[in-house]
Amino acid sequence: MPRTNRLIVAHLWVAILAFGVAASMALMQAIARANLEVPYQSARMYYMSVTAHGVLMALVFTTFFIMALGYSVAQKENGDVKWPRFGWAMFVLASLGALMAVWAILTFRASVLYTFYPPLQAHPAFYIGLTLVVVASWGWCASMIASWRESRKRNGDRPASLAMHATAANAMLWLLATIGVASEMLFQLIPWSLGWVKTVDPLLARTLFWFFGHPLVYFWLLPAYVIWYALVPREAGGKLFSEPLARATFALFLILSTPVGFHHQYQDPGISAGWKLFHTFNTMAISFPSLMTAFTVVASLEVAGRLRGGRGLFGWIRALPWSNPTVSSVLLAGLLFMVGGFGGSINAAYTMNSVVHNTAWVASHFHLTVGSAAALTFMGACYYLVPRISGRALELGLLARVQPYLWFLGMALFSFTGHIAGLMGLPRRVFATDYAGAAQAQAWHGLTSISALGGLVLFASAGFFVLVMVGTLLAGKKTAPAPIEWAEPLEAPPGGFRSTIWDRLGLWLIVAVVLVILAYAVPLWDILHLPRYGSPGFKPF
């Protein structure tokens, strides 16, 4: 196996193992929600397992998969990744960091949930470990941007491939976003958890966290969009409907992803309504590239369906290759994301946010977005990538074909009921077998039982995915590693595309920085000048 392929496979191993452990944690939570009597039910166990699930799924599985995909894109683009040895060093650093954080969580030293809001306090190993993952990811970003520049230099005025363009945009977005969490870790959480300072300012911490936390969701989404735009049209037997629209989409995400964080802090004091409104407008704007994606990707799928002989208004949908797990993952992820994205627009409106904030609605929203649009796409992409990169034929193909459908069914049961229960007031992140005697507990119970059933189906789906991956990587028949094949555009200008304004990511990064300064400079200044009391740390579980 070529050296770079080993690097990619190493990242995939960590991603798959993290996913497997996180899925078993979710099973425990599902059973707890169904109110079944199991011996390990306790608040301490519940908060540990929710933290492990969130951190391993949302931060470890995603980041390692995204790095693997990025290296695959760069390798395809330029024949090899930039600086493979450096890539290995970053991999070791990120794995070490992840291990430190997971150790702290599994030993009950970091039950602070994946958002690690102070004044909940974790062991320093948790914060330092996650910081190491972020630092390592900066190395990956440098490698991606260098690969993108190399491709542009080689091609003269031709742009880099769409996948490379998108990956570089995502790396720039991530560099900008992580300034927030790195400052929170270095100036607040790490010194505080080490006991060097006694108190912490939760509002400042939350603000820095969400400076990072919202673009984080696009850091998850953009790699899924790479698969949707650059891979699936071809896998489905068609072409990409519009390449320029696709390039514009990724540039728009780079511009608009960060200055929106206050839509997670509508209910926080200390930030004035005017600044929240500014972030609301930006949030509405950032939905636009996803609406463009819905248009372009569905149009590309229609092209595929018609080329496969589909007729009539909807006949092309049936003609799509629903038994190809890479394609069906994306189709089903897209269907779930239609609901999740619609819910996101509800979250983004201040008044409606005050109905759903901190309820089960929010957890349901993000299981349709990061848990479906991103995670299900990543699984579908693994069925395509792993055999090509590892040089081993896919094992247990039947399980791979069933797995996306189980995920879809499980997520639908879990999330649709969760949205309704949220509207009925069911809080998120609350452990209580009878919800402390809340009057609505009886009404919630029916819904949470269906939701728990969804959790069981999801667990089966996750198990299938892990079995297929481990089976393939360890026991798949040896074949030669094969190249990835990107989709052709439906209409390519003769002589190929020329770079346009949307390819100038450096320019869009500057625009993004200006927007971030506009959106954050004054409110951060205000927060820093509020009277500060600070809070000591709490470790209730």
204 makes contact, choosing from Cu ion, ligand HAS, none, with CB < 5 to 8 Å by partner type, with none
β-strand partners of 478: 392
Q: Using CA atoms in the order 471, 477, 483, 485, what is the torsion angle rounded to 10 degrees? A: -70
345 binds ligand HAS (CB under 6 A): yes
Q: Whole-angstrom Cα distance, residue 382 to residue 20?
A: 14
**311 is a catalytic site residue:** no
| Site of tokens 């970003």 | 141
Nearest C-alpha neighbor of 444 from the set 464, 468, 417, 469:
417
Q: Which stretch binds ligand HAS (CB under 6 A): 139-147, 190-198, 233-241, 339-347?
A: 339-347
319 binds ligand HAS (CB under 6 A): no
**366 is a catalytic site residue:** yes
10 binds ligand HAS (CB under 6 A): no
299 binds ligand HAS (CB under 6 A): no
Please check whether residue 498 is in contact with residue 240, taking contact to mean a CB–CB distance below 8 angstroms.
no
Q: Whole-angstrom Cα distance, residue 248 to residue 261?
A: 22
Of 261-280, which residues contact ligand HAS (CB under 6 A)?
263-264
Least separation in angstroms between CB 116 and Cu ion: 17
Amino acid found at 250? F
Residue 490 in tokens: 């439906």
93 binds ligand HAS (CB under 6 A): no
283 makes contact, choosing from ligand HAS, Cu ion, none, with CB < 5 to 8 Å by partner type, with ligand HAS
Least separation in angstroms between CB 419 and ligand HAS: 12
76 binds Cu ion (CB under 5 A): no
Sign of CA dihedral 444, 341, 215, 87: positive
Rg of the Cα trace of the chain? 23
**214 is a catalytic site residue:** yes
Amino acid found at 111? S
369 binds ligand HAS (CB under 6 A): yes
Among candidate residues 65, 366, 383, 464, the one labeled active-site is 366
Least separation in angstroms between CB 414 and Cu ion: 20
Q: Which of 362, 379, 452, 512 binds ligand HAS (CB under 6 A)?
A: 362
Least separation in angstroms between CB 276 and ligand HAS: 10
Nearest C-alpha neighbor of 513 from the set 254, 214, 276, 135:
254
Least separation in angstroms between CB 417 and ligand HAS: 18
Query: At 246, phi and psi to the nearest 5?
Result: -65, -45
Sketch the per residue contact string, 106 through 145, with ligand HAS: x for CB under 6 A, - otherwise: ---------x------------------------------
470 makes contact, choosing from Cu ion, ligand HAS, none, with CB < 5 to 8 Å by partner type, with none
Nearest C-alpha neighbor of 247 from the set 233, 231, 229:
229
334 binds ligand HAS (CB under 6 A): yes
Q: Whole-angstrom Cα distance, residue 217 to residue 64?
A: 15
**279 is a catalytic site residue:** no
Burial class, 478, CB count within 10 angstroms (exposed 0-12 / middle 13-18 / buried 19+):
exposed
**11 is a catalytic site residue:** no
348 makes contact, choosing from ligand HAS, Cu ion, none, with CB < 5 to 8 Å by partner type, with ligand HAS
Please check whether residue 511 is in contact with residue 47, taking contact to mean a CB–CB distance below 8 angstroms.
no
Report the residue number whose CB is nearest to Cu ion.
214
Toward Cu ion, which CB reaches closer, 214 or 428?
214
Please check whether residue 307 is in contact with residue 238, taking contact to mean a CB–CB distance below 8 angstroms.
yes
CA distances from 132 to 67, 73, 101, 136, 170 (A): 15, 24, 10, 6, 19
279 binds Cu ion (CB under 5 A): no
Toward Cu ion, which CB reaches closer, 214 or 234?
214
Residues 6+ apart with CB under 8 A from 215: 173, 174, 176, 177, 257, 258
Residue 521 in tokens: 């400079």
Q: Which stretch binds ligand HAS (CB under 6 A): 157-165, 176-184, 360-368, 524-532?
A: 360-368
Of 202-231, which residues contact Cu ion (CB under 5 A)?
214
Toward ligand HAS, which CB reaches closer, 297 or 406?
297
The count of chain residues that interact with Cu ion, using the rule CB under 5 A, is 1
Among candidate residues 234, 263, 279, 365, the one labeled active-site is 365
Query: At 216, phi and psi to the nearest 5?
Result: -50, -40
Query: How many angstroms from the chain centroid is the CA of residue 166?
Result: 15
Nearest C-alpha neighbor of 133 from the set 253, 258, 9, 18:
18
370 binds ligand HAS (CB under 6 A): yes
**367 is a catalytic site residue:** yes
257 binds ligand HAS (CB under 6 A): no
Q: Whole-angstrom Cα distance, residue 442 to residue 446?
A: 7
Residue 36's CB is within 10 A of a number of other CB atoms, namely: 12
CA distances from 96 to 93, 133, 182, 452 (A): 5, 8, 18, 34
Q: Which of 168, 286, 512, 516 binds ligand HAS (CB under 6 A)?
A: 286
304 binds ligand HAS (CB under 6 A): no
Q: Which of 29, 199, 287, 535 binds ligand HAS (CB under 6 A)?
A: 287
Toward ligand HAS, which CB reaches closer, 22 or 396?
22
**429 is a catalytic site residue:** yes
Toward Cu ion, which CB reaches closer, 64 or 262?
262
Which parts of this chain interact with Cu ion (CB under 5 A)?
214
Catalytic site residues? 214, 218, 365-367, 428-429
**Binding site residues, ligand HAS, CB under 6 A:** 115, 217, 220-221, 263-264, 283, 286-287, 290-291, 293-294, 297-298, 301, 317, 331, 334-335, 337-338, 341, 344-345, 347-348, 353, 357, 362, 365-366, 369-370, 373-374
